[in-house]
Amino acid sequence: MPFVGRESQTRRPVTAFGFELLASDGAARRGRVTTAHGPVETPAFMPVGTAATVKGMTAEMVAATGAEMVLANTYHLMLRPGAGRIERLGGLHDFMNWPGPILTDSGGFQVMSLAKLRKIGEEGVTFRSHIDGAKVTLTPERSVEIQKQLDATVTMVFDECTQWPVSEDEAAQSMRLSMRWAARSRAAFVERPGYGLFGIVQGSAYRDLREESAKTLTDIGFDGHAVGGLAVGEGQATMFEMLEATTPHLPAERPRYLMGVGKPADIVGAVARGIDLFDCVLPTRSGRTGQAFTRGGTLNMRNARHAEDGEPLDPDCGCPACRNHSRAYLHHLFKAEEMLGPILLTAHNLTCYQDLMREIRAAIEAGRFGGLAAAHAKIGR
């Protein structure tokens, strides 16, 4: 998408938050999410800007990859620089100079994975910050309030990310706590034109719990639904099985978001099971460590075999790394530990992911998604 600066952001006409289904091919869906900060063509991949930045990328560079929506994180931003400060500075869109839609994770996953001395109860979670050890309490109401201060286009309900592996009884207790928190998040959310609140399906790897969770969230009523608690070690086959157990019980007229996924083959397989939105740190993290995603698979740019290779990384890619530089140059940058290497490879990987999403959308529209899915399964990247 062409990058639009802050001045144009203030002129954007207010629109209702919604989802339009434009085409389908089997369970795969081609749609459009409309928001206060512009539309998002789906299926879509959201680059991860955890701390109000996609690492190594300016907002203009992120937009140049084709991304229309990014993700930021409530937990990290509430601790540093603080939601109040971001609110005083005009909200997250102005703060990070991203005029398009922003989805904010509620912080539940980070509380479970990063925070110290956690204490979970019906009211919420009390923990010690991983930054300075300060005591913090996060409840569904407070999480939603922080996301409003950030001016998130899409707010996520506060939930408990169920550990893996887990017994069915423990998974049920965790899921039902998340459902009670979801209802409280719904009650705390302040409706504004073009802004949405998503519920999160939990239930670990148990089909009946996933169905119960999906039906509970549908009864509460949300603008979209996420599938959480997957890609945590259960394996691709189980993840796909849980999607098959979940998406039929979610409203067709609402967008569906699979949290924290994943590799291209994971994305294609999830689209085949009715998912519309994705995020994952993989393309950016891989870019910083020298791994490149290409149409033929992944490459490690630190490998000596690239040292005298004058060919572009991917001749069919239009990113700056592929247009202007050779594999040998990228190899040199990583061996010399030059910061340009991770920047170029991050831009390339995000471009590769956005190209994949465009290919998926076109294939669904043309009724040939099955062929695309089979091709990607064969590559196995």
Q: Tell me the pLDDT tens digit for each residue of 149-161.
A: 999 999 999 999 8
- Domain co-membership, 250 together with 228: yes
Q: Known catalytic residue: 316?
A: no
Contacts (Cβ under 8 Å, ≥6 apart) of 13:
none
Residue ending a domain, choose from 244, 264, 280? 280
- Same structural domain for residues 144 and 212? yes
Residues 256-274 pLDDT 10s: 999 999 999 999 999 999 9
Q: What pLDDT digit, counting tens, does each position of 50-94 carry?
A: 999 999 999 999 999 999 999 999 999 999 999 999 999 999 999
Measure the CA–CA gap between 160 and 118, rounded to whole angstroms.
12
Residues 256 and 293 in one domain: no
264: in domain: yes
Q: Which of 280, 313, 346 is the last residue of a domain?
A: 280
Please name the residues in contact with 140: beta carbons below 8 A apart, sequence gap of 6 or more. 124, 157, 158, 181, 182, 184, 185, 188
Among residues 105, 223, 276, 355, the one annotated as catalytic is: 105
Q: Answer whether residue 1 is part of any domain.
A: no
pTM here is 0.95
Nearest to 276 by CA among 4, 8, 20: 20
Number of domains in the chain: 2
Are 275 and 290 found together in one domain?
no
Q: Are residues 302 and 268 in the same domain?
A: no
Give the model's pLDDT for residue 355. Answer: 98
**Final residue belonging to a domain, choices 247, 280, 313:** 280
As a three-state string, the secondary structure of 19-40 is EEEEEEECCEEEEEEECCCCCE
- Give the three-state DSSP class for 277: strand
Residue range 266-323, pLDDT digits in tens:
999 999 999 999 999 999 999 999 999 999 899 999 999 999 999 999 999 999 999 9
162/112 Cα distance (integer angstroms): 9
Residue pair 142/188 in contact (Cβ under 8 Å)? The answer is: no
> Do 171 and 119 share a structural domain?
yes
- Structural domain range at position 322: 281-381
pLDDT exceeds cutoff 90 at 1 = no
| Domain harbouring 191, CATH code | 3.20.20.105
Q: Reduce the DSSP state of residue 156 to 3 states and report it.
A: strand
User: Do 287 and 276 reside in the same domain of the chain?
Assistant: no
Please tell me which residue in 25, 279, 314, 355 is annotated as part of the active site: 279
- Same domain as 181, residue 42: yes
Let me know if 169 is a catalytic residue.
Answer: no
Q: Is residue 207 part of a domain?
A: yes
Is residue 330, in this structure, part of any structural domain at all? yes
Whether the pLDDT of residue 9 is over 60: the answer is no
